């Protein structure tokens, strides 16, 4: 007697999954982090009530939302800045381990100084919320302390988000120029912008003009253009395929 043997249906053909190459992931992550470092630009407006009249602010005038959002954005910028150096380190060290380590160290120092500035402004917020208006508080002393904390932020900003990018961009520009990971126009802009920004920082340091003056903004423009355009390029295009193999072995190395 014949029996019907159940048949197993044929397995569905497997669909190959497209996997992003390791170096493309590095470029994408670095690009996103670089673009993220620009989210603190609105702090120029967010901090305006504090900087324009810190005495009135610390005594309770105006909203605190701008200061809080500005401080949060600067924390994000600092962490993203460290992230750019850490993500690019495995690639940069194949060109020059000295430059790669210097880039990481400069980013860490930059972020540390950013945090000093953020802590200074948040301290003003604490004085406003917890001290101002309490019995026995000397309002004049609070105003003086507020001015001191704003001054601390101003100098921390000059050393962190204005001076340290000079070192960061020179080191990264050297790596990018030697390796040809991106078009040479990017490191060339960095080599032009970094000395220009350094000269402006020195002028601000000696009181020639203010840190947020039009001249200072113009001097910072090439460095900002380099970092933003580099971030966008890494997101859209990534590293040049001719500059490295999948494991990066073809990158020229320097002691």
132 contacts 139 by C-beta, under 8 angstroms: yes
pLDDT given at position 247: 43
User: Average model confidence (pLDDT) for the chain?
Assistant: 89
* pLDDT band of 22, cuts 50, 70, 90: confident
CA-based Rg of the chain, rounded to a whole angstrom? 25
pLDDT given at position 62: 86
Residue 19 has pLDDT above 90, yes or no: no
Buried b (16+ CB within 10 A) or exposed e, 162-196: bbbbbbbbbbbbbbbbbbbbbeeebbebbbebbeb
pLDDT given at position 65: 94
pLDDT given at position 246: 45
Residue 254 has pLDDT above 60, yes or no: no
pTM: 0.86
pLDDT given at position 186: 97
Residue 49 has pLDDT above 70, yes or no: yes
pLDDT given at position 14: 52
Q: Pick the residue with more confidence: 204 or 44? A: 204
* pLDDT band of 2, cuts 50, 70, 90: low
Share above pLDDT 90 across residues of the chain, in percent, rounded to a whole number? 78
* pLDDT band of 18, cuts 50, 70, 90: low
pLDDT given at position 9: 58
pLDDT given at position 149: 96
Residue 252 has pLDDT above 70, yes or no: no
Residue 46 has pLDDT above 90, yes or no: yes
Gap between the Cα atoms of 24 and 234, Å rounded: 9
Find the mean pLDDT for residues 15-24. Answer: 69
Find the mean pLDDT for residues 226-251. Answer: 79
> What are the boundaries of each domain within the chain?
22-169+231-238
* Helix (H), strand (E), coil (C) string for the chain: CCCCCCCCCCCCCCCCCCCCCHHHHHHHHHHHHHHHCCCCCCHHHHCHHHHHCHHHHHCCCCCCHHHHHHHHHHHHHHHHHHHHHHHHHHHHCCCEHHHHHHHHHHHHHHHHHHHHHHHHHHHHHHHHHHHCCCCCCCHHHHHHHHHHHHHHHHHHHHHHHHHHHHHHHHHHHHHHHHHCCCCCHHHHHHHHHHHHHHHHHHHHHCCCCCCCCHHHHHHHHHHHHHHHHHHHHHHHCCCCHHHCCCCCCCCCCEC
Matching residue, tokens 């996103």: 32
> How does pLDDT run across 93-150, given as a tens digit for each residue?
999 999 999 999 999 999 999 999 999 999 999 999 998 878 878 889 999 999 999 9
Tokens standing for residue 81: 């800045």
Q: Pick the residue with more confidence: 138 or 205? A: 205
> How does pLDDT run across 141-194, given as a tens digit for each residue?
999 999 999 999 999 999 999 999 999 999 999 999 999 999 999 999 999 999
């Amino acid at each position: 007697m014949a029996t019907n043997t159940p048949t197993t249906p044929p397995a569905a053909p497997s669909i190959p999954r497209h996997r992003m190459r390791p170096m493309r992931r590095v470029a994408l992550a670095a690009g996103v982090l670089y673009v993220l470092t620009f989210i603190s630009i609105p702090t120029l407006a967010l901090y305006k009530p504090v900087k324009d009249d810190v005495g009135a602010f610390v005594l309770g005038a105006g909203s605190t939302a701008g200061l809080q959002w500005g401080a949060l954005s600067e924390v994000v910028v600092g962490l993203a800045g460290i992230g750019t150096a850490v993500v690019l380190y495995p690639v940069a060290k194949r060109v020059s381990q000295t430059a790669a380590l210097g880039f990481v160290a400069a980013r860490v120092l930059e972020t540390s100084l950013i945090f000093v500035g953020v802590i200074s402004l948040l301290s003003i917020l604490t004085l406003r919320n917890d001290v101002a208006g309490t019995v026995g508080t000397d309002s004049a002393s609070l105003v003086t302390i507020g001015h001191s904390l704003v001054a601390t932020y101003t100098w921390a900003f000059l050393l962190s988000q204005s001076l340290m990018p000079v070192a960061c961009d020179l080191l990264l520009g050297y790596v990018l120029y030697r390796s040809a990971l991106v078009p040479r126009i990017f490191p060339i802009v960095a080599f032009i912008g970094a000395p220009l920004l350094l000269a402006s920082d020195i002028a601000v340091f000696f009181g020639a003009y203010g840190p947020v003056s039009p001249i200072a903004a113009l001097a910072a423009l090439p460095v900002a253009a380099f970092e933003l355009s580099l971030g966008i390029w890494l997101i859209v295009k990534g590293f040049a395929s001719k500059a490295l193999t999948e494991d990066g072995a073809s990158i020229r190395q320097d002691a």
